Structure 1
Amino acid sequence: MKNTEITFKEFTKTYISDFPDKFRYLGTPLQIYTLEDLSSGSIATPTPLLKANFNFIILPTTGSFEQQVGNLIKKVSENQALLVMQGEVTSLLRKTHNIKGYYIIFDDKVLQQFKDQLYFFKLFTTSPIIHLHSNDFKFVEQTSKLIMQELGTSMPDEQIALYLFQSLLLKLLKSSELKNGLSRQYDIAISFRALVYKHYSDGYSINDYAKQLRISSNYLNRCIQKVWNKSAKQFTQEFVIIQSQKYLQDFSEPISRIAYHLNFSDPSYFGRLFKKIIGISPQEYRSKLMHDLSE
């Protein structure tokens, strides 16, 4: 089963036609681009579901867009920020023609340099969309401009850019639901999610996850229900099925092999669960993909 993660450079070169030759990819752990530059070519939407190997923040200053993140669809417009963590399955569904703003990407090691790194990691896990008051959004917009100015110089000072980025994250943090801290239930839910990301194809049971977290499976279920309004089993099932959509985009892979790779002993059960969560069967999903590609 081939690697399904994609880099930012691979995404732009593969899915944006007529991409300007003058576009400069930054080679720094922290990178920033304008949405105008990214939209100067033609992005055929919806893009395929992809798993990025980087974290990113999208800050529209004009216009709006819709992004699928996991199994949720998020509409984002001015005075909002979308945060997507590395490894999340995501797709750009549509955007307005007048979209403007900033697109910030960065490695996990950038967050690891900050004193509040745990809160920043949790920010991306629990608050995919942050609503900002107008003054806070102006601060975030101006800070993005300063980061772009610094990284756009002939000899950028990455440390200055990182300090600016930290101030931007702090502003987002103070505007989020995490501003009053995190309960133990949130801590457990976030740790559970990280384990699911790591072991989703290993056949772990809810009891296995609970043992790793040193809690009972009943308490784990209560935590997941509190944070995401679903059981731990529902969370893992939805996550696995969302991941399977990436593999189904490779038409050379038999559906049964994908099911076995994701630790389903019965491909027919995989098909029933896929239809329950997505609304159509894996074969119908593939047929729809092929139809969209032929248009």
Structure 2
Amino acid sequence: MNKIITYSLEHHTSLFTTEENKNDYFYVQINDHPYIDEPYRAESYAIEFLKKGSIIMQTRLTKIVIHAPAIITLGPSVIRSFTKNSDEILMDIIFFKPQFFLKNQANVFFLNQYDFFVNSQMHVFSLEKGAKIKFGKIFDLISDTLNGDNNNQSSILRSYLYILVFELDAIKQTISDNYDQNPLFEKFKEILAKEFLRERSVGYYADSLNVTRKYLSEVIKKNSGKTAGDWIDDFIVLEAKVLLQDKTLTINQISEMLNFSNQSVFGKFFKNYTGFSPLEYRKNNGH
């Protein structure tokens, strides 16, 4: 592993079928899961309905055994991997690119509202009997739509995706109807997820968003309780922790991948943030 890979929707499609997919979405019903041990990101969102069996999923640094019935929600920025836990599973998965979902949506930050796409503590929804039946019906409708011949297929699917998101939000009850998160904060997180390996200056993000560094910092602090610098450091440290679990990489290679000037600078940064040197962290958290 030279870096944490970002899988395209086309690659995800190829894990399940040899058929070509030219859409910005892909739906599949499976009896086995493509277990990918190495951590990766994706360009698409995913909503997975585990109907039978169990799987092991690690998101960022949190590992969890997921038993059916359950819904799993994953956003593009989430570092994830899967390992086998059950010989027999039954699962429906819908992958979709953000631009597909947001077509005709005035609020480009709509999906950013929902923490269950990005927060490791919220990715899994264990379903009671009633909820299992409800989500089963929604996924059946999605299957019928995508397996049929309908000129409005994309629009119908988009509507069902909205229903899924709203139903999941109702379960979590974490997002209020009066959601007032500052769009500048949402845009900062979006740019940060793409650029943090190359750019770690608050000034860079302020310039990208056409605001002053002071104003950006005030908005982020107000909305998250953390400074812009803390957000940048959090992303870098998480990336470092994931890479350090791959013992085929030297500390120096990881330092270069994270764009530190040298291994010593990386080591000081990492220890200042975690209390451990990179080598100590690897020894304490190795597999």
Does TM-score exceed 0.5, indicating one fold?
A: yes
Q: Are residue 29 (structure 1) and residue 24 (structure 2) matched? A: yes
Shift of 1:160: 2.9
Q: Are residue 147 (structure 1) and residue 148 (structure 2) matched? A: no
Please, which runs of 5 or more residues in structure 2 have no aligned partner? none
> 1:66-81 counterparts in 2 under 5 A?
66-78=56-68, 80-81=70-71
Q: Are residue 7 (structure 1) and residue 8 (structure 2) matched? A: yes
Shift of 1:172: 2.2
* Corresponding residue number in structure 1 for 2:48: 58
- Distance in 2 (CA, whole Å) between partners of 1:25 and 1:77 is 31
Q: Contact conserved, 2:217 with 2:227, CA < 8 A, in 1?
A: no
- Distance in 1 (CA, whole Å) between partners of 2:134 and 2:97 is 23
Q: Contact conserved, 1:59 with 1:82, CA < 8 A, in 2?
A: yes
Q: Are residue 135 (structure 1) and residue 126 (structure 2) matched? A: no
Please, which runs of 5 or more residues in structure 1 have no aligned partner? none
Change (3 A) 1:92 1:272: farther
Counterpart residue identity of residue 8, structure 2: T
RMSD in angstroms over aligned alpha carbons?
A: 4.1
> 1:37-116 counterparts in 2 under 5 A?
38-39=32-33, 43=34, 47-78=37-68, 80-115=70-105
How many residue pairs align between the two structures?
Answer: 272
Q: Contact conserved, 1:201 with 1:262, CA < 8 A, in 2?
A: yes
Identity %: 15
Counterpart residue identity of residue 220, structure 1: I
Q: Contact conserved, 1:60 with 1:79, CA < 8 A, in 2?
A: yes
Q: Are residue 122 (structure 1) and residue 113 (structure 2) matched? A: yes
Q: Contact conserved, 1:70 with 1:89, CA < 8 A, in 2?
A: yes
Q: Deviation above 6 Å: which 4+ runs of structure 1?
A: none
Change (3 A) 1:171 1:205: same
* Corresponding residue number in structure 1 for 2:200: 204
Q: Are residue 182 (structure 1) and residue 179 (structure 2) matched? A: yes
Q: What SS class does the counterpart of residue 81 from structure 1 fall into?
A: strand
Change (3 A) 1:25 1:68: farther
Indicate the structure with greater helix content: 1
Change (3 A) 1:34 1:280: farther
Change (3 A) 1:106 1:184: closer
Change (3 A) 1:142 1:259: same
Shift of 1:105: 0.6
